[in-house]
Amino acid sequence: MHIKTLTIQGFKSYKDQTAVEEFSPGHNVVVGRNGSGKSNFFAAIRFVLSDAYTSMSKEERQSLLHDSSSSTSTTLSAFVEIVFDNSDGRFPSSSGSNELVLRRTIGIKKDEYSIDRKSATKSDVMNLLEAAGFSRSNPYYIVPQGRITHLTNMKDADRLNLLKDVAGTKVYETRRADSLRIMQETEEKKAKIDETLTYIQERLAELQEERSELNDFREKDKERRSLEYTLHQRDANDVITRLDDLVIRRQEEAADADEKQKRFFAREKELKALEDELTNLQHRSTVQVAERDSLLQERRELARTKAEIEAQINDDEERDERLGGTREELQQRLSALDERISAVEGELMGLEPSLEEQMVSLNNARNRLEASKARIQVLFGKRGRSTQYRTQAERDAAIRAEIQSLEEFKTEQNNRKDEVQAETVELQQAIAKAETSLTQKAEELEERRQFIEESAKRWDEVRADEDKLLERKKELWKEEHKLDSSVKVAQERLGVAQRSLSSMMDRATATGLANVEAVTQRLGLRGVYGPLYKLFTVQDTYKTAVEVTAGQSLFHVVVDTDETASRLIEEMNREKLGRVTFMPLNRLNPKVTDFQEKTDAMLMLRKLTFNQAHAKAMQQVFGRMIICKNLTIASSYVQSSKEINAITLDGDKVERKGALTGGYNDPKRSRLDAVQEVKRWKEVLVHDEQELARIRTDLQNTETSITSMIEERQSLESRSKRANRSREPILQEVRSLRETESAAKKRLQRLQEWSAQLSRDLETVETKKAALQQEINTPLNAGLSAEETAELEHLNREADEGEKTVTELTAKVSEMSTQRDTLEIELADNLKREREAIVGRLETLNNQVVGESQVGGMAVSAGGATAKVERQKRLAGLRAQIADKQKKLERIEREIEENQQKIKGKQDQIDSTTREQIEEARSISRHEKVLSKIVTKRREYEQRKVEVDEKLRQLGLVSNEALQKYADMDTSKVLKQLHKMQASLKEFSNVNVRAIEQYDQFARERDNLLERQGELDKSSESITELIDSLDMRKDEAIERTFKQVSKNFADVFEQLVPMGRGALIMQKRFDTESQENEESDEDAMDEDEATKAAKKIENYIGVSIKVSFHSKLDEGLRIQQLSGGQKSLVALALIFAIQKCDPAAFYLFDEIDANLDAQYRTAVAAMIQQLSENAQFITTTFRPELVGVGDKHYGVFFSAQKVSSLQSITQDEAFRFVEASAEATHT
């Protein structure tokens, strides 16, 4: 067994959870700087093993928690957990695990232990450690800092006490003291027993004298009790006879009353059914009257509409006669104008190509003419300059000046040409835009004309559909009124039924049931099935039995799981929504009896109809109940089988535990009837509300359609009016566009001519400039050359011909342009304007005919023959509707009359039935009074029987012989005999009636005390033997322990100091005066000599140590004479000797080599290495010697946040750690 792993958290400097890598079962070395937390690691192990830190105060516990003043979080608790390897089974374990986990947790207000993750007490931990061999008397398997120094400074007497502890004498002394205390208590108890026995003997003598007098008294009292018993028994028999007579009479009265009650309740149901029928007839009468009034109102409205339409038809006929002729004339003129417009447009289309061709020819002629003129001017200029300038240079300078002038003129003309072109583009765009707009306006006019015609047609169609929908709306109104009335009746009846049902339960339950459904929907729960009464149906025959069986369970709510129930309860408690009992199906485990149905009994569960998903809830409530014909049969079944309860059809119940319940059940207070009533009216209400919602939806849709059609008619009318109103502005816009187009075309023609002229001017300038540039740098000759002269003559002739051609073409173009303008003026200003006027006049006439007239508040169209036909159709339809309404009125009047007769008949039946009920109620009341008197009388006799039975019970048992003695005696004689016996008993007024009982009691107490006295004597002897045994074992243990420790010390010291020797010397009381005698006993370690020295332990006063480091023959030195390092070595040798005497599974050494010299550290390390083969060692050190012999090494690290951590390191890292610490120490 050894320590396997260690986990620390929050303990001293170990703030974060530190899990140490698994320890070696051999030697484990822990190194670290001063203050890093090595000692805290050592303290953590001692903390768990309870070697220290026992019975701590709050401040002491606080000091063990990590000081979090330097961190952001506060440490409120800490724990240290050690996992032991228990493969050798040293720790007792019920689970047989190879590991044992021991944990201690500490906080400001707590200090807790756990073993294998289970809570344990401190004593449990101590007992566990002792069972594993960790003795409290030998704590040297843990050696903290300072303990070695303490051993070196220990006095001889203290060393003796140490050996006594190792020997376990404290245990012996504790047990001896306990035995002496028990022995003292035993003596005190024996004294008390003797005193009590003396008193009991005296009391027994007194009671012996009183026994004879008591026997005489008992004989006479027995006679008295027999007489009283006879009288009371006769009185009891008389009461029973009277009770039996009352039972028979009550049964007869109850049977008669039950029969009348059955008739009463049957008639009550009949009366309720009659009242329901009367209510329905009255409701139907209300609906019929409302329907009749509605039909009368509709007939009046139809008659008024009919009269208005007839008047409108007459008006339309007169207007058609007035406007018909003018329309025909305008149509003829419009056709003639369309023909003339087509002819003029054709003539224009033929003229345009010829005009454009002539204009092209004219432009070409003008271009040729300008070119010729420009060349002529160049030649004339050249000829003039030959005479104008004297030198070539002057001429060239003048030419350059003229070229510059031409450039400026060219620039100016180009700018003008750009302006003309820009304006031309704008005019072309404007013309195109005007043409597009004219096309659009023509299309708009045509669209408006078509729209007006189509609108008139659509208006008629919409109006026809609207009339149909209006009729449909009226029918829906009637249905809505009927259903609304039905819904109100159903709501009223449902409210009455729900109030009746709520009155059969407490207010909190009623409130809870009313809110369960809302809470379920709000939480989105699916496993809530509702109250039990909603989940099954049963025939009326078994209704009373089922209701009595279920009781308040009818109102329990069935859910799928307890989690669902918990959520509902939590929400209802939070909002205070009442109280409900839930039945979670997953928690129900009902026991259902396997009862076989018979002719006189049946299982109630089989008479219920329910969903199998709710079977557990039904079995829980009804699973053990059977239905029987009467109470006698029910009682027999319950007695024969203790697993069932039984009930009759009337609700009288026999329970398996013996209870018998039953009595009158008021049918008016039937919960199941109330449930059925609520269910019935809820279904009626839901159906009527759904129908009403459907009717209202249809009505809303119909009204929406009507509104849509009205809006469509209004839109058609509005758009027709807008179309008519917008026609004239469009015509004005057309005229304006045509004028704009004409002006733009004229302006465009002028710009095109101007642009052509500018182009010709630019060509002339280019020609002049090119000639002048050619002339520069040429010789200044007089006049023109022969070629130039000939060219000039030729150009003059061409110019004359060009002038003539241009004049002719100009005249032709002008003539054709005049002809085109004339045709365009005639088309735009005359023909088209006249056509527009005629079309406008025709549309005006149509607007007068196709207009609006209000008939019965509804717009109707009337346009020509079509409108006339439409009105005639509408008039015929109205006449048919009026006839239909009349038929319906006649039918509804008949139905109202028939319904009134039925109402009168039902009211008569109700009055007759009510009178019968009143008479029956009076009869039932008389029976109830008789039954009440019988019940009162029966209670009196039952009370009297109880009193007599109590008197008989007080008398106790009386023998049959005594009773038989007075069986035939007259009652008066028995009473006389009783008085005589009571008088004779007065002589024994002072007798001790408990003398015999008290004598027997004291005798039993005497025997018990004598037995107890014997037990105490035996116990005293056993304690005395135990004390003697403990004294003997204590002496033997001290002698044996000293011998073992003394021998082990010599061996260990020789191993640590091979050249020396050491010995333990037991000091005796008679040796204190002589130093020589004490030294002569240095060989007391020898076992033979010690055996011969049979000394008493009281003579031992101390243990001293004498060692020699350099010789085995020297006398040696006492420990006070040694150096510090030698003292530490001697103390370690003593510790090793004690450990060998009582070996442990592991050892913890905290810097035991701190004060040793180098050669001794090596010896100690070698010894630990040797011992670690059979036990685990965990040592902390600053020295390399222990590091060198370690199997595993660990380093303690301390962070800047003052938090320690422990990590596994290599041996080399451990050596470097130690060397660095040594250098830091020397520095």
For the ranges 403-407, 572-576, 719-723, 831-835, the maximum mean pLDDT occurs at: 572-576
Question: Which of these, 232, 341, 29, 215, lies nearest to 988 by C-alpha position?
Answer: 215
Q: What is the mean pLDDT of the chain?
A: 77
Q: Which residues on neighbouring strands pair with residue 582, listed in sequence order?
A: 557
State the average pLDDT over residues 1004-1029. Answer: 77
- In this prediction, residue 209 carries a pLDDT of 66
Residues 1017-1025: contacts with CB within 8 Å, 24+ apart? 1017/190, 1019/182, 1019/186, 1020/183, 1020/186, 1020/187, 1020/190, 1023/179, 1023/180, 1023/182, 1023/183, 1023/186, 1024/183
Quick one: pLDDT band at residue 381, thresholds 50, 70, 90? low
Quick one: pLDDT band at residue 199, thresholds 50, 70, 90? confident
Residue 524, sorted as left (phi over 0), alpha (psi -120 to 50) or beta, turns out to be: left
Indicate the burial class of 560 (C-beta count within 10 angstroms; 0-12, 13-18, 19 or more): middle
* Higher local confidence (pLDDT), 1074 or 510: 510
Which structure tokens are listed for 1157? 């010299």
DSSP 861: -
How does pLDDT run across 428-444, given as a tens digit for each residue? 788 788 778 878 877 77
How does pLDDT run across 1174-1188, given as a tens digit for each residue? 888 999 988 888 888
The helix (run of H) or strand (run of E) holding residue 9 is: strand 2-9
Q: Which residues on neighbouring strands pair with residue 1195, listed in sequence order?
A: 31, 1207
- In this prediction, residue 842 carries a pLDDT of 64
How does pLDDT run across 623-634, given as a tens digit for each residue? 888 899 888 888
Residue 642, sorted as left (phi over 0), alpha (psi -120 to 50) or beta, turns out to be: alpha
How does pLDDT run across 84-117, given as a tens digit for each residue? 988 888 888 766 778 889 999 998 888 899 988 8
Question: Which of these, 19, 45, 143, 33, lies nearest to 1214 by C-alpha position?
Answer: 33
How does pLDDT run across 932-987, given as a tens digit for each residue? 888 888 888 888 888 888 877 777 777 676 667 777 778 777 788 778 777 776 76
Rounded to the nearest 5 percent, the helix, strand and coil shares of the chain are 70, 10, 20
- Cα 544 to Cα 538: distance, rounded to the nearest angstrom: 10
Write down all domains in the chain, each with its CATH number in brackets: 1-134+1151-1227 (3.40.50.300)
The DSSP-derived string for 1032-1066 is HHHHHHHHHHHHHHHHHHHHHHHHHSTT-EEEEEE
- In this prediction, residue 5 carries a pLDDT of 92
- Cα 664 to Cα 661: distance, rounded to the nearest angstrom: 11
Instruction: Find out whether 920 and 263 touch, Cβ atoms under 8 Å.
Output: yes
State the average pLDDT over residues 546-569. Answer: 89
Tell how far CA 1000 is from the center of its chain: 74
3-state secondary structure at position 697: helix
- Cα 512 to Cα 531: distance, rounded to the nearest angstrom: 11
- Cα 1132 to Cα 1129: distance, rounded to the nearest angstrom: 5
1202's CB contacts (< 8 A; 6+ apart) are 13, 67, 70
Indicate the burial class of 482 (C-beta count within 10 angstroms; 0-12, 13-18, 19 or more): buried
State the average pLDDT over residues 436-465. Answer: 76
* Higher local confidence (pLDDT), 872 or 1056: 1056
- Cα 790 to Cα 994: distance, rounded to the nearest angstrom: 192
Which structure tokens are listed for 515? 């809110």
1071's CB contacts (< 8 A; 6+ apart) are 1077, 1078, 1081
Residue 1118 confidence (pLDDT) above 60? yes
For the ranges 444-458, 479-493, 616-630, 1043-1057, the maximum mean pLDDT occurs at: 616-630
Compute φ and ψ for 563, nearest 5 degrees. Answer: -65, -45
High-pLDDT (> 90) share of the chain, %: 4
High-pLDDT (> 70) share of the chain, %: 82
State the average pLDDT over residues 298-325. Answer: 68
For the ranges 138-147, 409-418, 723-732, the maximum mean pLDDT occurs at: 409-418
Residue 571 confidence (pLDDT) above 70? yes
Residue 30 confidence (pLDDT) above 90? yes
Instruction: Find out whether 80 and 30 touch, Cβ atoms under 8 Å.
Output: no
State the average pLDDT over residues 530-557. Answer: 88
- In this prediction, residue 83 carries a pLDDT of 92
